[in-house]
Chain A
C-alpha cells in the first residue's frame, strides 16, 4: 500500500485527473445507487458509537485474547514494532536532518474504570488532564501524567458520545444521547446547572470556539447548532444536512466551522453569518463520521465509513481531496482521531495523522507521504473509537470498545533498547495510583 507513490501508473495521470474532476452529472450518477440503496441500512449499521456492548456477536474470544495478550505484551509489541518497521520501509526523500520514517509509541498506562465502551478521549489544552466519556453515562477525568482518576462526572441520563475542552481547560462539555449538552467545572467536578437543551436527538459531536464563548454541536437530528456558551442558548441553527451529523469542529481563529454527515457531505460554515461557504463531497459519497481542521486551519481531515481518512484542501478551487489514508478498518463506528507532530523543532517538524481501527489497531500516517509511521497492532482488544494527541508532549491517548483508555508515549530510544524498557509496563486500574509501578517513560 505504501508503495503506491512509486506506482508505475504515473503515466496515466492525466486520464485520472479528468476522472477526478469529473463533471457533475457523472458524480451524481455514480453515487446514486449507494445513496438510494442504503440510507436506513447505513444508519442501522452504524448505530450509536458505543452500542457494541449490546451487539449479540460480541465475542468473548476478544476478551480472552486481550487478557492473554496483556501477559505477553512485551513480546507481542516488539514484534509489532518490527513489522511496522518493515511496512514503512520506503522512505521519503530525506532532507537534512533526515525525516524519521518510524514512530515508536509504546504503552505507558491503561486506565480502567468505565463500565461500558469508551466513545471519546481528549487531552485538555493545557495537557494536564485526559477526559474520557463512555456509554456508561459518565465522563472521567484522569491525570495525564500519573493516570489517577480525578473526577467521575455523573449526570447524563444516557450514553455520552462526545466531549470537548474549553480553551482554558477549566470547563469540559459533553454531548449525550439524552439530547443534552452539559458543561462541567473541571476543578470541582460539578455540572453547570443549566444544560444546553435544544437538540431533538442524540448529540454526536461538539467543539468549542477558540475563545470559549461559542460551542458548535452536531446531532442525529441532522442539525448543527451554534451555542452561546454564556447564556446556554442556541445562537444559530445551521440548516446543515439531510442525514445525522457525525462531526463538527472550529477552525483555529474561530471564523469557520466544519460539519460532516452521513449524507457524505462536509460543509464549511462562516461562524459570523451562518452561511455555507463550501461543500466537499467525495465521489464515492461514503458517510462521513468525523471531521477536524488541521492545526493551521488550511485543511480538514475526515473519517469515512469506507475505511478511509481523507485530507481536504477546502480553500483551493471548489475544494479538493489531497490525501487518502488507508490501512485501517472503519465500516461501522464513528472513529475519530487527531493530528500529531514528530521530528524536531518547527523547521523540521512533521505532522502525522493518528486514528484507531475497528480491529483494535492504532495507526499513525505521515501527512504528506501517507506512509504508515507506526501501526500498534492490537493496541486495544476491540475497536479503537477515539484517539487524541497531547498538545505539547509526544503522548497519544486512545479509547475503545474494550472499555479501557490507553496512553502511549513515543520512545525516541533506538529499537534494540526498547525491548528491555517494555518489559516493565505500567498498568493502573485507574483507581489506585499507589499501585502504579515506576513509569519508565515518565521523564522522556
Chain B
C-alpha cells in the first residue's frame, strides 16, 4: 500500500547501495530468505537455526536440533516448513507453526546442500560428500531415499565407444549440488568435474548433461521463473545460462543445447567467489568474494559490473537477495553477523506539510486574484461540504502485484513473546545485580541429549539401518 506514496525515483532503483542494518544471533553460517520475503532463516555455527523477522529485525523463532554447523537451508513454497542440513550429517524438516521437527533424516556422509521440492515439502534432493545424490521422500514416517545418477549422459555415438579410462573417471564423479526446477519435475545437478546434469525427478533418469568446465560446480541458483541459471564454479568464473521451459512436454532433451550467456570474472585480481545469487527479477547477479570484503553485482543485460557492495571489515560467505526488494543479506565469516544492504530513502520534505513543495530553485509566488478575499466562514463550510459529492469505495481491496500478499488461510508466522527469554547463545549470563559469569559449556543444550526425542518422530534409527542395508547389498 505504501508504493503509491513513495518517490518513484526511489522505487525505480533496483540495486541496493549501502549497509542499512545487521542481524546478530550467534555465529551465522548460512542464510536463506523465505519466499514471501518477510523472514530470513539463519543457520548457526552451534547448530541452532534462527528465523529472523525482516520487518522488526528480531528473532521470530529458534529451532534446536542440530549439533553442528548448518550447511544449507531451504524453505517450502508456503513458508511454513524449513529444511536445514547440518554438518552432523542430518537434515531436519521444521514446522514453523509450532517449531517442531516434522522429520529428521540421517545420512552416512556429509551433506553439501539439501533443497526442498517446490510443490511437495515432504521431498527433498540432497548432494552428499563422496556419495550418490539422493531424492528423499519423507511422506512416510520412515524416509525413503532414492539414489540419483551422477554419470553424465553422453551423446549416443560417444556412449557406444566409452573407453575404460573414461568410464573409470565417470565413476569417480560425485554430485556437489542439486536443486529442483520450479515445477519440481526435474533436478538440476552439478558435479565435481564440471558437468551439469538434468535428472527426471520422477523416474530418476539422466535426461541431459552439459559440460560447463573442468572444475567443481559449487553452487547453482535459478531465477524465480526457472528460465535462467547462475553457476558458481571453482574455476573463478560465474556463468549464467538461459534454460528452456522444462515443464514443456514437447521439449526434446536430445536436441537440447545449452549455451553460456555471460561469464563474470575478475581478470585482474583473479578473485574466486564464495556464493552467488540472482536478484529478485533475475537482472542482476551478486557474488561474494573469497578472502575479500566485497560483493560484486553484475547486470545481465550487458554483462557488466555495476556495483561493489562494501562496508564490512570481513569476508562474506553466503549472500542472498530478497525475493522482491532491492535488499541483499550476507553472512560475515569472522563475526557471524548477517549484514544487510538496501537503499536509503531520503525524507521528502514536501511530505511533512501539504503546502511544502520541493523546487529546484527559487520561484516567485504569484497570488491568486481572490486569495486574500474575506468570505463568511459559514459560506466556506457550506461550499466545502457541497463539493464532497464523489463516490468513495472503502471496502474493495485492490490486488497488489509486486509484493507477495498473504491470502486467506496462508501460513502466518506466530508471534512468540518469550523468544528473547529463551536466548541461550549469550556467553555471559547475569547472576545478580551487575554480576556476570561465563555460561558453563553445555548449559542450555539439553536438547542435544534428546536423541530419543527424535525417535518420537519415528525417524531416529530406521533410516540409518535402511541406508546400511542398501549399501551392503
Contact = CB atoms under 8 A, between A and B. Distances in A.
Given A4-B382, A273-B345, A339-B394, A23 B368 contact: yes
Nearest to A167: B412
A306 B392 CA distance: 23
Interface string B330-347: 000000000000000101
Contact of A256 (B1, B354, B368, B412): B1
Contacts of A272: 2, 55
A392 interface: no
A22 interface: yes
B355 A230 contact: no
Contacts of B443: none
Interface stretch (B200-208, B222-230, B369-377, B449-457): B369-377
A7 interface: yes
B419 interface: yes
B383 A12 contact: yes
A132 B6 CA distance: 37
B56 A228 contact: yes
A323 B385 CA distance: 7
Interface in A15-58: 15-20, 22-28
Given A22-B371, A230-B60, A368 B391 contact: yes
A277 B387 contact: no
A23 B355 contact: yes
A230 B384 contact: no
A213 B53 contact: yes
Contact of A211 (B38, B391, B416): B38
A7 to B, nearest CB: 5
Given A299-B392, A351-B394, A279 B368 contact: no
Contacts of A346: 395
Given A9-B386, A252-B1, A252-B397, A19 B375 contact: yes
A232 to B, nearest CB: 8
Contacts of B38: 211
Contacts of A268: 5
B243 interface: no
B351 A277 contact: yes
A368 B392 contact: yes
Interface string B384-422: 111111111111111010010110000011111101100
Interface string A181-225: 001000000001000000000000000011111100000000000
Contact of B5 (A13, A212, A230, A277): A277
A80 interface: no
Contact of B6 (A270, A296, A370): A270
B394 A299 contact: yes
Q: Which range contains the number of B residues in contact with the other chain?
A: 35 or more
A296 B389 contact: no
A253 B2 CA distance: 9
Contacts of B368: 18, 23
Interface in A259-309: 265, 268, 270-273, 275-281, 294-299
Nearest to B373: A19
A272 B55 CA distance: 7
A256 B371 contact: no
B465 interface: no
Nearest to A370: B388
B386 A281 contact: no
Nearest to A349: B395
Interface stretch (A109-117, A143-151, A313-321): A313-321
A368 B1 CA distance: 22
B60 A213 contact: yes
B255 interface: no
Contact of B388 (A12, A277, A321, A339): A321
Interface in B1-50: 1-6, 38
Nearest to B10: A273
B59 interface: yes
Contact of B386 (A10, A167, A280, A297): A10
A251 interface: yes
A19 B384 contact: yes
A168 B370 CA distance: 54
Contacts of B382: 4, 7, 9
A171 B370 CA distance: 55
Interface string A333-366: 0000001010000100101000000000000000
Contacts of A318: 354
Given A254-B55, A268-B5, A351-B394, A23 B367 contact: yes
Contact of A275 (B345, B354, B393, B398): B345
Residue from the set B53, B395, B405 with the largest chain A CB neighbour count within 10 Å: B395
A322 interface: yes
A4 B385 contact: yes
A127 to B, nearest CB: 15
A196 to B, nearest CB: 11
Contacts of A439: none
Contacts of A23: 355, 365, 367-368, 371
A5 B389 contact: yes
A255 B59 CA distance: 20
A418 interface: no
Contact of B57 (A7, A13, A25, A235): A235
B359 interface: no
A410 B420 CA distance: 45
B140 interface: no
A255 B371 contact: no
B242 interface: no
Interface in A129-187: 166-168, 171, 183
A367 interface: yes
B167 interface: no
B71 to A, nearest CB: 27
Contact of A19 (B58, B383, B419): B383
A425 B35 CA distance: 53
A110 to B, nearest CB: 30
A171 B418 CA distance: 13
Contact of A230 (B1, B387, B416): B416
A230 B420 contact: yes
Contacts of A435: none
B168 interface: no
A324 interface: yes
B380 A19 contact: yes
B157 interface: no
Nearest to B383: A16
B353 interface: yes
Contact of B1 (A10, A214, A253, A341): A253
B5 A20 contact: no
A230 B415 contact: yes
A345 to B, nearest CB: 12
22 contacts: A5-B389, A12-B383, A19-B375, A19-B380, A28-B355, A167-B412, A183-B417, A192-B417, A229-B417, A230-B58, A231-B419, A232-B420, A252-B397, A253-B400, A253-B403, A256-B1, A271-B2, A275-B351, A278-B351, A281-B353, A299-B392, A339-B394
Shortest Cβ-Cβ A-B pairs, 6 listed: A24-B355, A16-B383, A294-B394, A255-B2, A277-B5, A228-B56
Interface of A: 4-5, 7, 9-10, 12-13, 15-20, 22-28, 166-168, 171, 183, 192, 209-214, 228-232, 235, 251-256, 265, 268, 270-273, 275-281, 294-299, 311, 313-315, 318-319, 321-324, 326, 339, 341, 346, 349, 351, 367-368, 370
Given A27-B355, A171-B417, 19 more contacts: A4-B386, A9-B382, A19-B383, A168-B414, A211-B55, A212-B415, A230-B58, A230-B60, A231-B56, A252-B1, A273-B345, A277-B5, A294-B395, A297-B1, A298-B393, A314-B5, A323-B388, A351-B394, A368-B392
